[in-house]
Amino acid sequence: ALKCGIVGLPNVGKSTLFNALTSAKALAANYPFATKEPNIGVITVPDTRLDKLAELVNPQKVQPTTVDIVDIAGLIKGASKGEGLGNQFLGNIRETDAIIHVVRCFDDDNVVHVDGSVDPVRDKMIIDTELIFKDIETIEKRVEKLRRTAKSGNKEHVKIVEIYDGLLAHLNQEKPARSFDIGDEKAILDDLYLLTAKPVLYVCNVDEDGFPDGNKHTKAFRESVAAEKAEVLLVSAQIEAEIAELDTAEERQEFLEDMGLPEPGVNRVIRASYNLLKLLTYFTAGEKEVRAWTITEGTKAPGAAGVIHTDFEHGFIRAEVIHYDNFVEFGSESGARDNGKLSVEGKEYVVEDGDVMHFRFNV
């Protein structure tokens, strides 16, 4: 499954947000290192299309798709040099596909700030710097050997060393690898598994007075990241935690209405993460189960079938495809078929977001 890692300084609200996202009960406490083990949770991706399909098909079971989320605690200044539990946490980030970077934008004297004051711009720089240091170390380790083989005439290695040197110069200007112009050599970059090459989404954690319009901290933060073109979400982790604590959907709905919110902020975070990972959803809609499945952009029909079961991929014959809009318009598979909206697709078909798929395969 695809994995998002939540990073940020201690006491910015990571665990609180993580809990709200996963409705798990990780330890949220007012001291640094409350979460010593990386917490992994599974979040379901809210999708109104799935609800609509379920309404039409009336299956025994409805299964939303999921993304894994990891709460990565303990990053502080000096982490790349092994401060705190630094190196271990940096390793946890390496295993993720995308990063949710939480910054503290709420003032509260009762919540200790590890660096003494609330300043999300500085906080982000501290985290970025640690990740950049780690990436420099990764490349330097790798480039050492390559320099030798390049010197003794390996042309391929000469090229790689050149690219690595460019990347090192870029990182040394405190810029993340994701903003390095790699041209056609993306594979060389991918091969390094750099922390700062991962896509990032920023979450400004605000409290009631910064919500939903923001405050001076969120304003400063937005300005500081404007050039990155990354998404910045305003979320109140504490309000989200309160919503997650409520027992019934009705209570949650009432709470949201009282706050004047169309939906919980966690839904926005989940959707933004999903977009960040360039993920698409396709559906299967049977009497037994209506289900959403996650694939990456550009996946062909057999690959999409393989998400359900490897046998589906290996024995793939064809796929019958109805787009969601047509399924809804004609109310059912047979309705769509009768109106010529069911297409039969082969191995080269690139699955689109919202396709309702029915696979035919040999076993």
Binding-site residue set for ATP? 11-16
Instruction: Give the integer Cα–Cα distance in Å for 146 and 154.
Output: 9
25 binds ligand GDP (CB under 6 A): no
Q: Which of 106, 221, 282, 283 binds ligand GDP (CB under 6 A)?
A: 106
Closer Cβ to ligand GDP, 11 or 284, answer by number: 11
**Contact code string over 158-187 relative to ligand GDP, x by CB under 6 A:** ------------------------------
Instruction: Give the integer Cα–Cα distance in Å for 156 and 276.
Output: 32
Interface with ligand GDP by CB under 6 A: which range of 103-111, 137-145, 296-304, 343-351?
103-111
137 binds ligand GDP (CB under 6 A): no
120 binds ligand GDP (CB under 6 A): no
359 binds ligand GDP (CB under 6 A): no
Interface with ligand GDP by CB under 6 A: which range of 188-196, 231-239, 312-320, 339-347?
231-239
As measured in angstroms, the least distance from the Cβ of 99 to ligand GDP is: 14
**Contact code string over 204-223 relative to ligand GDP, x by CB under 6 A:** -x-x----------------
84 binds ligand GDP (CB under 6 A): no
Q: Which of 2, 16, 290, 359 binds ligand GDP (CB under 6 A)?
A: 16
108 binds ligand GDP (CB under 6 A): yes
8 binds ligand GDP (CB under 6 A): yes
As measured in angstroms, the least distance from the Cβ of 41 to ligand GDP is: 13
Q: Is 78 exposed, middle or buried (0-12, 13-18, 19+ CB in 10 A)?
A: middle
Count other C-beta atoms under 10 Å from residue 55's C-beta.
11
Closer Cβ to ligand GDP, 12 or 197, answer by number: 12
237 binds ligand GDP (CB under 6 A): yes
Site residues (CB under 6 A) for ligand GDP, limited to 246-275:
none
Whose tokens are 């939480």? That residue is: 102
Binding site listing: 11-16
Sign for the CA dihedral angle at 81, 82, 87, 93 comes to: negative
Q: Which residues bind ligand GDP (CB under 6 A)?
A: 8, 10-16, 28-30, 34-35, 73, 106, 108, 111, 205, 207, 236-238
